[in-house]
Structure 1
């Protein structure tokens, strides 16, 4: 209680006094506290698991699935894969325009876009015209980090958080449309009999109907996969039809996040909207950082990820250059860890820069932000203290005007 009270008092101190780097406003203090809290929440629930038992012999935790971050993470992964998809198709169209399509070959295309609840994602290209991988591979990291930094920046101000929320909804709509045009898929329809089997098994306890529903599910799945052109990992692995992101899943996550945005927008002059944008921004920015740490540094020797393929692509080009130009300066081949550390510092610097920029740009107090927020798509419910200050300002202006008229009439 004492620590919490001290924190509240520290935030309250920002309501008055001139702004300075050492004396931030109450809104800025709230943002800093929230970012620290959000970082801990993301760190703890990143894997969507909660440990509840520890095996001493195996030195492992037993966990239970707790998908508190799942809707936000799925959208974050989707933005990452959207970067690959957009840049990849732009480079494919560029190559087709300038070099044409191989005779008898197929145009380049996106076979599928996969996202899953364990922070994974994959954008698979097909056809005989490949994207320029030196641009396509880093596009996911760059895209997710830039999007996250934009959300972070807008989250420091109530009015600007509205711009961030609108861009989030537009971005999600674009991603949904891209997934639809790549391969329209409904997870609900595709897994309908699987859902029915689950109901029979765990609600109605009917084993016979459970097996019957599962057989129908497998038959429907086999029918869909007859036209498949890709198998993931091995000949028995899932197809591009199985892996492709479901529109209803994306829309469901979007509706959930959109509902939160709407409620925060409509309440207290949208000052709570800041926190949603800060959270989404931090999650998107940290996604690329965490992926680089895991796949590029910790599991660099065994993992296959964007950073791994980036290193392979660079080394492939370096070999070709060195072979074709033996008299010129030879290009060095770099390890996955080298690129991981380089990208890690780049993205960390970007996040820090955006936070510092937001700190110095958005200096207004909560009351001032609430009043300014009414200039753009105002909220239905106003922030109480801002109403009081606005009334005082209006009364002061009216008093000055009245006194001016009185003096004018007297003269």
Structure 2
């Protein structure tokens, strides 16, 4: 959704002329952030594959359906009479398979990779925001609105509605912990999860063969090549998006923890 990208990158756009002059030397606060990200990657990778405990990631996995659907819907149309993203008919969440988006129409060359790559772009933006408390507040507002709007498509699915409300509730609760510092770590976690979601999902679908079909296999059938090839291409692009988000966060947000907390007190302050 355009609002998501605009909301998360607005602050970066304002500072763009100054970013080129910034040093990419990592300070203490940024080093801690990168260290937490590394821990997230290891923990999520383990939880993704370990039996039984993998269920702990289920709420985060199914909550990737709203952003993916948003990207599939709002991809630019190629002409005035055709919407490249098609029409979203409904959204439902399955406890075993995750999210399912039911669409009608659209250009498959755009909508098929949009779920994977759209999730990666959103993840990169959330990682960028996760380097700063105020930016994380902005990101959480936009993300929460997108989740709530998704209820319109999922209004007949109580599981989807409940999961989305719990996710929004978590974001709201984190606003009141250390003036939003907890929110920063949650946004960063969701960002890492989103940025690598396509990589892990492609691994599940194409390497471990946990499912019979995937967006990559359908794409290969329609446009040539192999599903493994397209999966690798999309994975590399996803990792590049993540790298851009990290570099952008380092360049834009060099404030210490105490400075960020002070700034946060003046942006929609909480107790």
**What range is the shorter-chain TM-score in?**
0.7 to 0.9
Alignment of 1:134-213 (within 5 A): 134-180=109-155, 185=156
Aligned residues: 248
The change in CA–CA distance for 1:298 and 1:167 in structure 2 (over 3 A counts) is same
The TM-score with structure 2 as length reference comes to 0.80
1:272 corresponding residue in structure 2: 182
The change in CA–CA distance for 1:260 and 1:124 in structure 2 (over 3 A counts) is closer
Cα deviation code 1:283-329 (max 9, x no counterpart): 111111112223244549x83111111122213xxxxxxxxxxxxxx
Which secondary structure does the structure 2 equivalent of 1:114 belong to? strand
Q: CA separation in 1, counterparts of 2:53 and 2:208?
A: 24
Q: CA separation in 2, counterparts of 1:259 and 1:311?
A: 40
1:116 corresponding residue in structure 2: 94
Q: 2:35 aligns with which of 17, 30, 33?
A: 33
Q: 1:337 aligns with which of 224, 228, 234?
A: 228
Q: CA separation in 1, counterparts of 2:204 and 2:269?
A: 43
The TM-score with structure 1 as length reference comes to 0.54
Alignment of 1:15-94 (within 5 A): 21-25=24-28, 27-46=29-48, 50=51, 64=52, 67-87=55-75, 94=81
1:309 corresponding residue in structure 2: 218
Q: CA separation in 1, counterparts of 2:96 and 2:38?
A: 23
Does the 8 A contact of 1:152 with 1:277 survive in 2? yes
Long gaps (5+) in structure 2: 1-21
The change in CA–CA distance for 1:297 and 1:92 in structure 2 (over 3 A counts) is farther
Does the 8 A contact of 1:159 with 1:373 survive in 2? yes
Q: CA separation in 1, counterparts of 2:91 and 2:173?
A: 31
Shift of 1:356: 1.7
2:255 corresponding residue in structure 1: 364
Q: 1:294 aligns with which of 196, 204, 208?
A: 204
Q: CA separation in 2, counterparts of 1:110 and 1:161?
A: 29
The change in CA–CA distance for 1:23 and 1:344 in structure 2 (over 3 A counts) is closer
Which secondary structure does the structure 2 equivalent of 1:94 belong to? coil
The change in CA–CA distance for 1:252 and 1:124 in structure 2 (over 3 A counts) is closer
Q: CA separation in 1, counterparts of 2:182 and 2:90?
A: 37
Q: CA RMSD in A?
A: 2.8
Segments of 4+ moved more than 4 angstroms: 19-23, 85-88, 90-93, 108-111
Q: CA separation in 1, counterparts of 2:111 and 2:78?
A: 8
Does the 8 A contact of 2:24 with 2:247 survive in 1? no
The change in CA–CA distance for 1:124 and 1:92 in structure 2 (over 3 A counts) is farther
Which secondary structure does the structure 2 equivalent of 1:139 belong to? helix
Shift of 1:70: 2.1
Long gaps (5+) in structure 1: 1-18, 51-63, 97-107, 186-245, 316-333, 381-411
Q: CA separation in 2, counterparts of 1:23 and 1:45?
A: 29
Larger radius of gyration: 1
Which secondary structure does the structure 2 equivalent of 1:377 belong to? coil
Shift of 1:35: 0.9
Shift of 1:256: 2.4
The change in CA–CA distance for 1:117 and 1:94 in structure 2 (over 3 A counts) is farther
